[in-house]
Amino acid sequence: MDSSALSRFSSIHCLNSADSDKRSHFFTRRSAAAATAATADVAIEAQNLSFSIATQQGKSVPILQDCSLRIPSGQLWMLLGPNGCGKSTLLKVLAGLLNPNGGTFNVKRPKSFVFQNPDHQVVMPTVEADVSFGLGKFDLSNDEVRRRVAKALDAVGMASYMQRPVQTLSGGQKQRVAIAGALAEACKVLLLDELTTFLDEKDQIGVIKALKNTLDVSDDVTAIWVTHRLEELEYADGALYMEEGKVIKRGDASRIMNFIKAKQASYFLRN
């Protein structure tokens, strides 16, 4: 599957229980009995995850090492860290798109992964068709489909765009439509990989505000948001900071902000 098709598949279709069975979402070297079960108030939990890639020379290169995290239900958490530290890889493991070599994880389902390129997120001709695209598998009445689509678009502030051709949307609006698609499918966890990378400042703030509103008005939806932009931290309930394949700091947004600023200051003093 090419990356565009994978993006479309993953972002528009919630990764539900049936998918997850096929994709070995819960991988462990330990016995199933020892696996960590998510408690009612924890949406995402991972312990000691490891993930390696094999080079063409047959060498194993570790990407995630002893990586643990815990995110409470109904909250927006941000995942930060330097380029190449493993943020996207961790997200893909949590989505079930990559199988870890070790460790345990549990993510509430259904869950949905949205990629950073807005042009990979929407493919149907209109906003309404796009958001309802993933609902075909549920055998819902037309009224129920319309109700879910309207509610999801309302949550992301796109209710008045129902009949708009998707090619007329800005990048941020496309990302919001992708999030609405996941909401319409009643996803409990949104795994969002640098959605604002390709967006201008106005669109960037529009997406993060729409997401924050979505979590406020939805019942028990949790989001993890990978970003490099410190200004987005003000919208977070909590944040994780990764380095070299593992989460090294966890806390409220101001704690992580101070931690990163101190790191940046010491880097500039040394160089």
Ligand X SMILES: Nc1ncnc2c1ncn2[C@@H]1O[C@H](COP(=O)(O)OP(=O)(O)OP(=O)(O)O)[C@@H](O)[C@H]1O
Alpha carbon distance 263, 80 (integer Å): 13
Q: How many CB atoms lie within 10 A of CB 212?
A: 17
Q: Least CB distance from residue 225 to ligand X, whole Å?
A: 13
Q: Find the shortest distance in angstroms from Cβ 81 to ligand X.
A: 6
In angstroms, give the least distance from the CB of 205 to ligand X: 20
**How many CA atoms within 13 Å lie on the side-chain side of 206?**
17
Rounded to a whole number of angstroms, the minimum distance from the CB of residue 43 to ligand X is 21
Considering only CA atoms, which of 147, 136, 198 is closest in space to residue 173? 198
Residue 195 is a binding residue for ligand X (CB under 6 A)? no
State the Cα–Cα distance between residues 66 and 45, nearest whole angstrom.
Answer: 13
Position 63 contacts ligand X (CB under 6 A): yes
Cβ neighbours around 210 below 10 Å, total: 19
Q: Which is nearer to ligand X, 149 or 256 (CB)?
A: 256
Phi, psi of 241 (to 5 degrees): -120, 125
Taking the complex as a whole, the smallest distance from the CB of residue 240 to ligand X amounts, in Å, to: 12
Per-position x/- string for 18-57, each x denoting binding to ligand X as judged by CB under 6 A, each - no binding? -----------------------------------x----
AA letter at 250: R
Task: Name the DSSP class of 187.
Answer: -
User: What's the min distance (Å) between Cβ of 92 and ligand X?
Assistant: 8
Q: How far is the CB of 86 from ligand X (least distance, A)?
A: 4
Q: Which of 71, 85, 155, 178 binds ligand X (CB under 6 A)?
A: 85
Q: Which is nearer to ligand X, 5 or 53 (CB)?
A: 53
Tell me the helices (H) and strands (E) count for the chain, helix number first.
Answer: 8, 9
User: Which of 16, 48, 89, 121 forms a contact with ligand X (CB under 6 A)?
Assistant: 89
Least Cα distance to 242 among 30, 17, 91 occurs for: 91
Q: Kindly state the number of chain residues that form the binding site for ligand X, as judged by CB under 6 A.
A: 10
- Cβ proximity to ligand X: between 68 and 88 the closer is 88
Interacting residues of 264 by C-beta distance below 8 A, sequence separation 6+ = none
DSSP code string of 25-54: -S--SS-GGGSPPPPTTEEEEEEEEEEEEE
- Cα gap 228→105, rounded to integer Å: 24
Q: Which of 3, 84, 220, 234 binds ligand X (CB under 6 A)?
A: 84
Nearer to ligand X, 103 or 181 (CB): 103
Exactly one of 57, 60, 83, 141 binds ligand X (CB under 6 A); that residue is 83
Q: Is 86 in the site for ligand X (CB under 6 A)?
A: yes
Which residues would be at the binding site for ligand X (CB under 6 A)?
53, 63, 81, 83-89
